[in-house]
Amino acid sequence: MADIEPAALPEVRRLRAYWERRVAHRSSPPEEWMADKLLLDALGLGLEQTLQFLGREQPDFEAFRRWIVTTAGPPDPVTIARYHAAIAGAPPPPQVSAQLSRIDAMPAVLDAADLAHWDAQGYVILRGAITPREVEAAAALLWEATGADPADPASWHGPRTNGLMVQLFQHPALEAARRAPRVHKAFAQLWGTSDLWSRIDRMSFNAPLRTPCSFAAPRLHWDVSLVPPIAFATQGILYLSDTAADQGAFELVPGFHHRLVEWLAALGDADPRTVDLGDRAVRVPARAGDLIIWRHDLPHGASPNTATQPRLAQYVNYYSAEMGIQPAWR
């Protein structure tokens, strides 16, 4: 790390303020949450890895700058310019505007039936989101990262401290889905705009259960505050293996967004996150290279893998810098 000079990182607005807060274990005020999110994605950093580094190492600012470049490489100047424009409320740079125009001009990748299913059920599957070769490269990366061997089931349950989650955020194989025009177009159709940001997220390895009671991952949950109004947003999971319903498939409660607000009101002061909705959940099987996109107000989660092969996946998502973020939590 000492070989990389801080000068390799250009000036990035708000970076020092972000560092100061996090090493002091202080959260950002709600009005800066979106700017923080844009900052990390513009730098190519995952949220968890950044918070863990700052909290564990307590680096000085120059060490933090060096870590950024060591971890994610020098940031793309156009992306940094876009970030600076976004936090200033200015239009994106011309290169970004041209890219967004190309996405707008693309033929739709989700047809009328897909969009009707999205409206009714709250999720949709983009078939063949990336190429078979790109799927193969990302899957190989995940096998390597977990230290598991596809031919050796005994290696599928190695020591991992994050359950199904694999804390791998930076690699060229992960960029295929994040940068795929077909993926961008799908999210643009759902959001109603191409002016979206790609999230830097991690991977997932769901191995077959060794015993019936050994599934430790959270089942149905939300990753968003349930205080109304709940702003629209999406989440996504890209299968890197053909995944049957019993193979640790992603599951959700379809259509729940239509009745969520009324359901929450009927609960009174009860904690909605403790209510078991498992009897309403459906599992979503799909092929390697298929991307499942769902509304983030749907309860969702992983399911136990009772099959004989692991489920491999990468989390892929786009979001708008204009989306609302609820500061209160329920």
Q: 16 Cβ partners below 8 Å, 6+ apart?
A: 61
Query: What does the alpha-carbon distance between residue 163 and residue 153 come to, in Å, rounded to a whole number?
Result: 17
Say whether 172 sits in a helix, a strand or coil. helix
Instruction: Retrieve residue 49's tokens.
Output: 């890895």
Helix axis angle, 172-179 relative to 181-191, nearest 10°?
Answer: 40
What number of other Cβ atoms are within 10 A of residue 111's Cβ? 10
Q: At 301, phi and psi to the nearest 5?
A: 170, -175
Helix axis angle, 132-146 relative to 172-179, nearest 10°?
Answer: 140
Q: Are 84 and 105 contained in the same domain? A: no
User: Does residue 47 form part of some domain?
Assistant: yes
Per-residue pLDDT tens listing for the chain (330 residues): 445 555 579 899 999 999 999 999 999 999 999 999 999 999 999 999 999 999 999 999 999 999 999 999 999 999 999 999 999 999 999 999 999 999 999 999 999 999 999 999 999 999 999 999 999 999 999 999 999 999 999 999 977 667 899 999 999 999 999 999 999 999 999 999 999 999 999 999 999 998 766 665 558 999 999 999 999 999 999 999 999 999 999 999 999 999 999 999 999 999 999 999 999 999 999 999 999 999 999 999 999 999 999 999 999 999 999 999 999 999
Q: Are 138 and 80 contained in the same domain? A: no
Q: What is the pTM of this model?
A: 0.95
Look up the domain containing 281 and give its range.
101-320
Could you give the dihedral angle defined by the CA atoms of residues 315, 320, 323 and 325, in that order, rounded to the nearest 10 degrees? Answer: 40
User: Does residue 58 form part of some domain?
Assistant: yes
Residue where a domain terminates, one of 90, 110, 142: 90
Q: Are strands 165-166 and 197-198 parallel, antiparallel or unpaired?
A: unpaired
What number of other Cβ atoms are within 10 A of residue 74's Cβ? 14
pLDDT at residue 109, as a whole number = 99
User: Does residue 327 form part of some domain?
Assistant: no
CATH of the domain at 174: 2.60.120.620
Q: Are 163 and 258 contained in the same domain? A: yes
The label of the residue with tokens 């424009």 reads 85
Q: Are 84 and 152 contained in the same domain? A: no
Q: Is 290:126 a contact under the CB 8 Å cutoff?
A: yes
User: Does residue 247 form part of some domain?
Assistant: yes
Q: Are 106 and 229 contained in the same domain? A: yes
Which segments within 232-310 are labelled E, that is strand? 234-239, 250-252, 282-284, 291-295, 300-302
Q: Are 71 and 121 contained in the same domain? A: no
The label of the residue with tokens 């000079």 reads 5
pLDDT at residue 158, as a whole number = 79
User: Does residue 328 form part of some domain?
Assistant: no
Distances (CA, A) of 292 to 109, 127, 236, 252, 329: 13, 9, 5, 11, 26
Residue where a domain terminates, one of 90, 116, 132: 90
Number of domains in the chain: 2
Q: Are 59 and 153 contained in the same domain? A: no
Q: Are 65 and 186 contained in the same domain? A: no
Helix and strand tally (H, E) in the chain? Answer: 11, 11
What number of other Cβ atoms are within 10 A of residue 232's Cβ? 16
